[in-house]
Structure 1
Amino acid sequence: MSHPSESLPLVAGAKKYHKLLGLGLVGVSALSFSLMSATIKYESVYLSSMETVFWRSSIAWIINLLVVLYTKTSLVVEVELRWYLAIRCLCGFISMSCAFYAISQMVLADASVLIFTTPIMTFFLGAAFLKEKVECIDVTCAIVALTGVVFVVRPVFLFHSNELVKIASAAAIIAALVGAFAKAVAFVVIRKMPSIHFLVVVHYLMLSSSIISGIWIAIFDHVFHVALDLYAWLGIGAIGLLGFLGQISLTKGLQIEHVGVASAMRYLDVVFVFVWDALLLREVINPWSILGGVIIIACVAVIAIRRASTEPTAAA
């Protein structure tokens, strides 16, 4: 009887996880990514969207590589899983770059609504390609939570505003939707390779994103900003660190939990961003935002309580 080689990033045997571990990890990723988004908002004064992708990926890759070396995790991937890993890396880069571009070209609220259609797409992609059972109440919670997102971000095409409105181009709208779909595909692909160590997945994702964004900057942008002040560099470092923490939490969480349910937990990202805006930026809290936050938290609570009442999740 053959045994799994220690030189390969495999998980030997089925392992039982706590019922809420997968959702908890996705929740941690939402917290990390929300803080990263707040930092990116500050850094947008200094960097283009593709430069942000480059620094976010490069620093996260370096940190992840140090952890890989410390834990002596092998970066060898089984041949039959390399196509899945390549698709995950490509979709991850597309999702990142499209989301950052949409946010830079659109009103942030409008871009957020389009980007956060990902969980709805993920539910149906998971059912179609992973044969995951779609519970009506989970889908309902995801859809209702999306309405909560709308209340929090208040897109100008639904909520009238007296402020000067930035009209989004068709390219920006398409970019947001493409980014949302690419992220949904990435979530599904992660579930297809649960035996690959999550550090290995993050390693190749961040490395490929660094290379592709660097090539893009060299060919299309022709400008790379390095003469930045101390606060800008601290922000860049924070983006990389928070991106690393968010990525490893999300990757491991998606390997454990059903992809549709886990992706719905990412709505917490919107709530966290709303909190940072209120506490750190001293923005006035809008009643619609409070209502939206309550709706999102309620839906996430329903999903979590239902998951806690089921059997522990087994590693594939």
Structure 2
Amino acid sequence: MPEHLELQQLVGGVLQGSVRHQSLFPWSQCSCPYLGIILATISSLFFSLCSVIVKGLVDINPIELATFRFIGVLLPSIPIAIYKEESFFPKGKRIILVLRCFVGTTGLMLSFYAFRHMPLADASVIIFSTPVFVAIFARLFLRESCGMFNVLTIFLTLIGVVLITRPPFLFGYGVHNVADEQVVSNYDVWGPVAALSSTLFGANAYVLLRALKGLHFSVIMTNFGAFALIYTLIVCYYLGALCWPLCGSDRLLVIALALFSFGGQILLTLALQYEQAGPVAVARSADIVFAFIWQIMFFEETPSVYSILGALLVVSSVVLSALRKWALALPRDSELRKKLFFLVLD
């Protein structure tokens, strides 16, 4: 889950320089040319199912669900870090590690809140737009260039987000939904606020990951999982939400949430071993398609025309950004780069 983005941000920023040369899974050798794309799509399926579980378990606080998800991140990471003989809290990177853990955890908790208080597809689209906003914070904190292409994608994304959230001061308080013939008179502002805040925190997590690109991904995941587990437990205690799910089916879904999180992460890791980050990011846009399907199938919520148009704008911006990153990584004399010349222009 683009949530859910935290894990894909982590692997996308780190594995490009390390895992390609030192595979975490030496047994995973296959000649299938589209295997990376297939694995990334299945990873999207798993992450989208995590979103469904978060929205569906209405009797469990979303912050408590985040706690279970972080357990699924932490437990597999510890043995990997031990096997690689990595330092769990390396000197010189500790402050950045803590900051990355804080913004990543806060962003994920906000995304879970958004899933609970917004239509599933709308929340997924907004949170999925995180990579587009990275250019802003990379410009502010890393002094990276932010050309007209970035400005265009950010502008398209903002229009898409406005269409999805439909703020009352622009669309009025009595918005008529043609898709399901309902009149929305009560506008829940906190769901969109949480989704947008999650996007901004996630974009900063991307920037911090760039400063940690020399670390093995298991070290970042271990710190992230441990910090997030403590952080969410404290928040749950403050909210009075520290309790084990009472219903048997709820307990199974909580376990499934952790398993889907772990499975999605592993598949995303493998996908980035077989394919470059750009095409994998494009394949990850399948998360949005799954979100629309689950919204209709499980929650019987038909998306409005505004939501569909907004989703198309956001997904187009993300896909264009991913293709640009891929094109820039190609050799200058590459025929494919010449065909994609419009993506590499500033």
Match of 1:273 among 291, 316, 329: 291
Match of 2:88 among 69, 76, 82: 76
TM-score, with structure 2 as normaliser: 0.66
Displacement of 1:194: 0.3
TM-score, with structure 1 as normaliser: 0.71
Deviations 1:102-151 (A, max 9, x none): 44455667766765664454211112222323232243134324544555
Confirm whether residue 92 of structure 1 aligns to residue 108 of structure 2. Answer: no
Determine helix, strand or coil for the equivalent of 1:160: strand
- Quote the residue 1:219 is aligned against: 238
Give the Cα–Cα distance (whole angstroms) in 1 for the partners of residues 161 and 286 of structure 2: 9
Give the Cα–Cα distance (whole angstroms) in 2 for the partners of residues 58 and 32 of structure 1: 16
Give the Cα–Cα distance (whole angstroms) in 2 for the partners of residues 58 and 83 of structure 1: 23
Q: State the one-letter code of the partner of 1:91.
A: V
Displacement of 1:84: 0.7
Are residues 293 and 220 of structure 1, via their aligned partners in 2, closer, same or farther at CA, if it must alter by over 3 Å?
closer
Are residues 32 and 125 of structure 1, via their aligned partners in 2, closer, same or farther at CA, if it must alter by over 3 Å?
farther
Instruction: Calculate the aligned-residue CA RMSD, in Å.
Output: 4.3
For the 8 Å contact 1:102–1:176, the answer to whether it is kept is yes
For the 8 Å contact 1:119–1:142, the answer to whether it is kept is no
Out of 208-217 and 129-138, give the one that drifted further. 129-138
Give the Cα–Cα distance (whole angstroms) in 2 for the partners of residues 16 and 97 of structure 1: 29
Match of 1:40 among 54, 65, 72: 54
Q: Name structure 2 gaps, 5 residues minimum.
A: 1-13, 22-34, 332-346
Are residues 148 and 22 of structure 1, via their aligned partners in 2, closer, same or farther at CA, if it must alter by over 3 Å?
farther
Equivalent pairs, count:
291
* Bigger relative contact order, structure 1 or 2 (CA pairs below 8 A, ≥6 apart): 1
Q: State the one-letter code of the partner of 2:237.
A: A
Are residues 106 and 209 of structure 1, via their aligned partners in 2, closer, same or farther at CA, if it must alter by over 3 Å?
same
Give the Cα–Cα distance (whole angstroms) in 1 for the partners of residues 42 and 209 of structure 2: 18
Displacement of 1:193: 0.7
- Quote the residue 1:136 is aligned against: 148
Give the Cα–Cα distance (whole angstroms) in 2 for the partners of residues 233 and 218 of structure 1: 19
Deviations 1:261-306 (A, max 9, x none): 9999976643431133345656556555554454445444433443
Give the Cα–Cα distance (whole angstroms) in 2 for the partners of residues 92 and 278 of structure 1: 29
Confirm whether residue 185 of structure 1 aligns to residue 204 of structure 2. Answer: yes
Give the Cα–Cα distance (whole angstroms) in 1 for the partners of residues 313 and 196 of structure 2: 23
Give the Cα–Cα distance (whole angstroms) in 1 for the partners of residues 221 and 320 of structure 2: 30
- Quote the residue 2:338 is aligned against: none
- Quote the residue 1:195 is aligned against: 214
Give the Cα–Cα distance (whole angstroms) in 2 for the partners of residues 206 and 137 of structure 1: 35
**What does residue range 4-23 of structure 1 map to in structure 2 within 5 Å?**
none
Are residues 149 and 30 of structure 1, via their aligned partners in 2, closer, same or farther at CA, if it must alter by over 3 Å?
farther
Displacement of 1:190: 0.5
For the 8 Å contact 2:47–2:287, the answer to whether it is kept is yes
Give the Cα–Cα distance (whole angstroms) in 2 for the partners of residues 68 and 17 of structure 1: 17
Determine helix, strand or coil for the equivalent of 1:186: helix
Confirm whether residue 160 of structure 1 aligns to residue 176 of structure 2. Answer: yes
Q: Name structure 1 gaps, 5 residues minimum.
A: 1-10
Displacement of 1:237: 2.1
Are residues 300 and 51 of structure 1, via their aligned partners in 2, closer, same or farther at CA, if it must alter by over 3 Å?
closer
Give the Cα–Cα distance (whole angstroms) in 2 for the partners of residues 107 and 285 of structure 1: 8
Give the Cα–Cα distance (whole angstroms) in 1 for the partners of residues 150 and 283 of structure 2: 11
Deviations 1:141-188 (A, max 9, x none): 34324544555x46474453334544335x666544443322221111
Are residues 76 and 22 of structure 1, via their aligned partners in 2, closer, same or farther at CA, if it must alter by over 3 Å?
farther
% identity of equivalent residues: 27
Give the Cα–Cα distance (whole angstroms) in 2 for the partners of residues 52 and 65 of structure 1: 21
Give the Cα–Cα distance (whole angstroms) in 2 for the partners of residues 40 and 130 of structure 1: 34
Q: State the one-letter code of the partner of 1:182.
A: F
